[in-house]
Chain A
Amino acid sequence: MRYMLLVYGADPEAETDGSAPPPAGTGLGRIPWVDQLVGLGVELHDGAMLRDAAVATTVRAGGGDVLLSDGPFAEAREQIVGYQVIECADLDAALEAAARHPALGGGCAVEIRPIAQQRGDGGPSSRHGDW
């Protein structure tokens, strides 16, 4: 099973222009966690830090018009600061991996979302689904 880990952290209000350094421990740089994953039987596929939600662009395209708005899709104090995609046997293993996520120590929360896995071979050019 594949799971997406969404790391939520406090969005530093609108003070930022997105050029501030990312909060520590929200990416993959904390190697001990990556090493722990191997021991848990969890494979790390992908992951990254994202620039601040304050500099996100949200796109809506109804009725032929494209509407752009600054900021994330949902107004909330805490926003997604990074993500990882992991593969493991079951949800328990994913929870175990998430519970050791280094960002938790920095006050972040980690949301675990099962991936629909509609792609066949796990390759990068796989199909996204049937919207």
Chain B
Amino acid sequence: MKYMMFVCAEREPIETPAAVQEAPAAEPQNQQAEPEKEADDGSFPWLDEMVSRGVRLDGDRLKPWHMAKTVRVRGDEVLVVDGPFAETKDVIVGYDILECASLEEAVEVASKHPVAAFGSIEVRQFWDGVA
């Protein structure tokens, strides 16, 4: 059965518009704001384990929540607003698509994800055979 893992964490503060547009990644403040990125050596044991087990099919990180756009239709009008749909404390920061034998296995996989230690992971079953 296929499952979606929405990987959720607390909203990061919005960078200044100038920082977002010009992305001066070399600034020391920015490096301190995201120490885990700077410290990354490319290893991701969770991913290695789940890919080798054959349970993790796909997934990626999403860019920061404030880069979202939300589209609605009111009458004949299409409305586009900046920001995510929901005003929630936690936001989706990434996703993984799993193929697991059961919900129990999907929950076990989710519980081992490093973000589960400080954020939360929503596990949702796919509708099978529904396009």
Chain A positions near chain B (C-beta within 8 angstroms): 2, 4, 6, 8, 18, 21-22, 27-29, 46, 48-51, 53, 55-62, 66, 68, 72-74, 76, 78, 80, 83, 91, 95, 98-99, 101, 104-105, 109-119, 124-131
Contacts and interface: CB of A to CB of B under 8 A. Distances in A.
A113 B44 contact: no
A129 to B, nearest CB: 4
Given A58-B120, A128-B47, A130-B40, A51 B63 contact: no
Interface string B60-94: 11110101111111000010100011101110101
B44 A129 contact: yes
Q: Which 5 A-B pairs have the closest CB atoms?
A: A130-B40, A29-B131, A116-B61, A61-B116, A74-B88
Given A80-B124, A114-B62, A116-B61, A62 B117 contact: yes
Contact of A116 (B60, B92, B97): B60
Contacts of B27: none
A104 B60 contact: no
Contacts of B37: 130
Contacts of B117: 61-62
A112 B83 CA distance: 9
A58 B85 contact: no
Contacts of A62: 116-118
A59 B123 contact: yes
Nearest to A83: B4
Interface residues of B, number: 63
B22 interface: no
Contacts of B121: 58-60, 73
B127 A114 contact: no
Contact of B85 (A22, A68, A109): A109
5 contacts: A48-B130, A49-B131, A61-B116, A68-B107, A113-B65
A128 to B, nearest CB: 5
Contacts of A73: 6, 8, 88, 90, 120-122
A127 B47 contact: yes
